[in-house]
Amino acid sequence: MHVFALHAQITGTVWDKDGPLKGVAVAVKGSSTATQSDQDGHFRIAADPAAVPVLVFSHIGYLTQSVTVSGTQPLQVILQVANTDLDEVVVVGYGTQRKQDLTGAVSVVKVADVQKRQATTVAESLQGLATGIRVRGGGRPGSEAQIQIRGLKNFSGTPPLYVVDGLITTANRDFNPSDIESIQILKDASAAAIYGSRAANGVIIITTKRGQQGPAQIEVSAKSTLQTTPRYNLAKTEEFARLNYMAYDNANVPRQDLDMTVDTDWQDAAFRTGKVQEYSASFSGGGEGGNYFISGGYFDNKGAVISTDFNRFNFRVNTVSKKGIFTIGENLAISNAKADEMSGNPYIDVLRLLPTIPVYNPDNPGGYGYGDERRARTFGSNPVAIADLDDRTNANLRIRGNLFSELQLLPSLKYRFNLGYETSRDHHTYLRKAGSWTLNQPLDPSQYHENRAESSTVLVENTLSFEKEFNAHRLNVLAGQSYQRDRYAQMWGTKRNMLENPNGGYYTVLDQGNEPQTGGFANRTDIISYFGRFEYNYADKYLVNGIIRTDGASRFGNNYKFGTFPSISGAWRISQEDFFQASWINDLKVRANYGTLGSSNIGPYDYIPVVNTFPTIAMGPGQVILPGATQVKLANHDLRWETLIQQNYGFDAAFLNNRINVSAEYFISKTKDVLLQYPLLLSTGNDGGNPFTNGATLSNRGMELSVTYQENTKPFQYSVTANIKKLRNRVVDLGYGQNRTFSGNTVTEKGQPIGMWYVLETDGIFQNIEEINSYQNAEGRVIQPNAQPGDIRFKDHNGDGTITNADKTIVGDAWADYEMGLNMNASYKQFSFSMDWFGSFGATVFNGPRSVMDMFSDNTNYRADIQPWTPENPNTDVPRAYYASTINARGDTDRWLEDGSFVRLKYIGVSYRLPSSLLDKIYFSEAQVTLSGQNLLTFTKYTGLDPEFNNSNIFQKGHDFGVFPNLRTVSLGVQFRF
């Protein structure tokens, strides 16, 4: 563009395709002269008329443009939209913000990346898609993944707060991910403080879909998935017998009379190919007066383990109507879910059962095979028998939604009322048929148990918001009040000796059988809140955000019911300053914040003593039986809020016409007055469980980095996003003078991470008697005098000449040094490709299944091709096989610890969009076919089934006790719209 200027003042207007642009930075190249366009897009700037000036126009979300001024004016400059999402509107709690205006740590997850994965819950789909979150799931149908945002904040393992369309709720297994429009994760105090006491573990805000203005649209999708579980490589009968006889012979114990005619593959008996069928349909549209969205879905998962199934029906209606200054709308969701669950642990039982045991044995009660004292002495449970004789189901009918109305009192002032309601009807059944599934099991009669529960949540919120622009100033103020009431009630009944019906089953109604037992309880919690938020923006350069919230919770005593949680945050967009002349940097913003959050992770009545009303006493001459009562659990009336104090420092930048986007965070958090159950001696009179108290102090600090490169201007379009998270937790104080606490093979110490491995340290295998006799302490005492060649040598850390628990030492922890995600997307013409990788590095984990297979001290199956030490095979790391002794089979040694690092291909998919020429013939506006896979490749040194296992125990996060692993899946899906 070339125009001629005769004057020192250059004038013009800046536009985009929709009209004038306000706030565009206009600078004279090579000088410090700069200005901004006004609200009508006009600008005026001085330049040297003797030179041919070049003006540089830059604005967030647009390509930077240089214009040589050599012609008439005023100039007409049209900016092109860049490859950026900075103008994206982000839901931040009781309102929205432009992404470019964020001052806190908020991750925006692309919904398409969530919905493309085969998952039961939202949390399960988030892994690797956002920095600062840790997700661990599993392959059990209907299971819910664990999610942590920026580390452990307390000892309760409480999940983040979910807010769906303004309703405080959950996004559990009965929520349909296909209905999601947007997901935001609030990770720090400044972002989450608007939710106060419930936001200490982070907030996940979900907005569901709404209709768009225009003709009605129908969208249908269907997906079919096959699932396979990873398997152990186990010994067959011949190899098992050889190893088993070796262990018995070394222990000088008579061999078992193994049945060599049987060769059962218990994995074939317990595992199968899982199948998932998922269907959804939606109908949406709208006009000037409102919009609507109606959807329905069905999800069915036949699990990869026998007798594990899950199915779900979903229905949703979202509507909005507008008339003048009044808006009213609602979001209603109904779901009905049912899970068929299996008792026991089939992933351990297939190890403990011997291949010489048949699946069926008519001589046993119930007709199933299991251990035998003479021929197969094992206490492993037959999973096929459990699947038949032990039947558990969990069904849930949930209705949730909210009704909201808005009144635009003034152009800048809006009132909003939100009424939310959620109710759930839960139904649990348990049928125990007559029969046995393990050795020495008591011959119990049939039993039927039924549990029914009802929950309800009522949410009432009133907010008043003020939003106004004054030239370069933008002000947004929010004030609000919230009240929430939660009720839960449960009742149950049990009968024994149920009657069999003519079809070989049982009458599962509680008017049958005998020995009745009943029970139940009810509780209620209330929370009332007052909150406010202040946002100030000057010329998109200087951003300030302040929040304060006061919560009052019924879970605490009268002295500490209320807590106040403030936060403050600010940002400086350096790229908007006049002095900033780096044209290759499109956006540069630094931000910092500080804030507090609260948590009330206790039961409804833990501040009240527990009184048992069952006791009776005989009194008087006639020994009349009178009722009594006794306090069985002590209580702390002064329980108070956990308080989380957080700092966050970060920057956001965009380079090379917004092709590269970088976001980095450094955060520090400390949780004080952590609520925990403190152990008390029974001699104190406390016999009803340990009471809660405010004791420990925990801290987390870490960094997050996300980098995206995208190219959307050419026929071949692609984007690559890499993110990395590094986090370390530390126990600042355990409270009440404690320096350490133990859980299993872990110790938690003051000044160290939670749950460090505390075990005996091995030092190879003794090869001969000389090595045993020469292994002495400083005083010349033989440390392991009873050892034999082939036994494990343990380190005598305290030097006392004997191996005891005093020699245990810390040998690492289960927390990853860092975790990474890599997400790649590409498209060319009708084809698109997507691939997600996730990696975790530096964790030390405990391989529980290997401690079962390799111990030889008990009768279990063994790993195929295992080579225990023998005089003829000394070059091995497996000690000699020795039955009925823990000499080489102790579970508290580092022998079972392994490197838990891994890199996994979480998702890969290829899609093909049908061309418009074909779509016109079938009257579709869009149609797509997708072939995808999940967990197809894993690179790891871990020898268990899945390094990405899930353990809910806070102190033993790295203990793999044989949980359901993540499954390999292959899916074929179709999606069309008309």
Q: Beta strand 660-677 with 642-655: parallel, antiparallel or unpaired?
A: antiparallel
Distance CA 151, CA 730 (A): 10
Helix, strand, or coil (residue 86) = coil
Report residue 505's pLDDT band, with 50, 70 and 90 as the boundaries: confident
List C-alpha distances in Å: 102 to 131, 199, 414, 548, 592: 16, 18, 22, 17, 11
Helix, strand, or coil (residue 531) = strand
| Class of the CATH domain delimited by 89-212 | mainly beta
C-alpha closest to that of 905 among 832, 966, 951, 959: 966
Distance CA 113, CA 909 (A): 11
How confident is the model over 548-595, as pLDDT tens digits? 999 999 999 888 999 999 999 999 999 999 899 888 999 999 999 999
Q: What is the mean pLDDT of residues 890-898?
A: 97
Paired residues of 931 in beta bridges: 910, 972
Distance CA 764, CA 780 (A): 20
Report residue 124's pLDDT band, with 50, 70 and 90 as the boundaries: confident
Summary count for the chain: helices (H), strands (E): 10, 53
850, 860 contact by CB (below 8 A): no
Q: Beta strand 809-813 with 792-794: parallel, antiparallel or unpaired?
A: unpaired
Global pTM reads 0.87
Phi, psi of 123, deg, nearest 5: -55, -40
How confident is the model over 913-956, as pLDDT tens digits? 998 888 888 888 889 999 999 999 999 999 999 999 988 888 99
Q: Beta strand 514-538 with 542-553: parallel, antiparallel or unpaired?
A: antiparallel
Residue 201 pLDDT exceeds 70: yes
Residue 1 pLDDT exceeds 60: no
C-alpha closest to that of 95 among 452, 390, 345, 467: 467
Distance CA 67, CA 47 (A): 13
List C-alpha distances in Å: 445 to 139, 366, 439, 448: 32, 11, 17, 10
Q: Which amino acid is at 626?
A: L
Helix, strand, coil percentages in the chain from 3-state DSSP, rounded to 5: 10, 50, 40
With left for phi above 0 and alpha for psi between -120 and 50, is residue 852 left, alpha or beta?
alpha
Question: Would you list the domain boundaries of the chain?
Answer: 9-78, 89-212, 229-269+824-977
Distance CA 28, CA 872 (A): 85
| Class of the CATH domain delimited by 9-78 | mainly beta
Judged on CB neighbours under 10 Å (0-12, 13-18, 19+), 765 is buried
C-alpha closest to that of 428 among 337, 505, 350: 337
Report residue 120's pLDDT band, with 50, 70 and 90 as the boundaries: confident
How confident is the model over 440-480, as pLDDT tens digits? 999 889 999 999 999 999 999 999 999 999 888 999 999 99
CA 500 from chain centre, in angstroms, equals 43
Report residue 2's pLDDT band, with 50, 70 and 90 as the boundaries: very low
With left for phi above 0 and alpha for psi between -120 and 50, is residue 267 left, alpha or beta?
alpha
Q: What is the DSSP letter of 341?
A: E
C-alpha closest to that of 725 among 192, 109, 150: 150
Q: Same CATH fold, 89-212 and 9-78? A: no
Residues 6+ apart with CB under 8 A from 879: 765, 790, 791, 792, 868, 869, 888
Q: What is the DSSP letter of 708?
A: E
How confident is the model over 677-695, as pLDDT tens digits? 877 777 777 777 788 888 8
Distance CA 321, CA 324 (A): 10
Residue 3 pLDDT exceeds 80: no
Number of Cβ within 10 Å of residue 440's Cβ equals 9
Report residue 85's pLDDT band, with 50, 70 and 90 as the boundaries: low
Concatenating the DSSP letter of every residue in 202-228 gives -EEEEEE----SEEEEEEEEEEEEEEE
Residue 81 pLDDT exceeds 90: no
Percent of the chain clearing pLDDT 70 (strictly above): 98
How confident is the model over 204-257, as pLDDT tens digits? 999 999 988 888 999 999 999 999 999 999 999 999 999 999 999 999 999 999
Judged on CB neighbours under 10 Å (0-12, 13-18, 19+), 492 is middle
Distance CA 863, CA 845 (A): 19
Give the pLDDT score at 450.
Answer: 95
Distance CA 105, CA 348 (A): 42
Give the pLDDT score at 60.
Answer: 62
Distance CA 424, CA 710 (A): 44
Distance CA 329, CA 361 (A): 62
Q: Where does 806-944 show beta strands of DSSP type E?
A: 809-813, 818-828, 831-841, 844-847, 897-899, 902-913, 926-934, 937-940
Distance CA 382, CA 307 (A): 13
Residue 5 pLDDT exceeds 80: no
Q: What is the mean pLDDT of residues 399-418?
A: 96
Distance CA 538, CA 780 (A): 78
Burial 827-839 (b: 16+ CB within 10 A, else e): beeeebebbbbbb
Mean pLDDT score across all residues of the chain: 91
Percent of the chain clearing pLDDT 90 (strictly above): 65
C-alpha closest to that of 9 among 58, 55, 41, 40: 55
Q: What is the mean pLDDT of residues 627-642?
A: 84
Give the pLDDT score at 4.
Answer: 36
Give the pLDDT score at 635.
Answer: 83
Residue 86 pLDDT exceeds 80: no
How confident is the model over 48-80, as pLDDT tens digits? 767 778 888 877 667 778 888 876 778 888 887
759, 893 contact by CB (below 8 A): yes
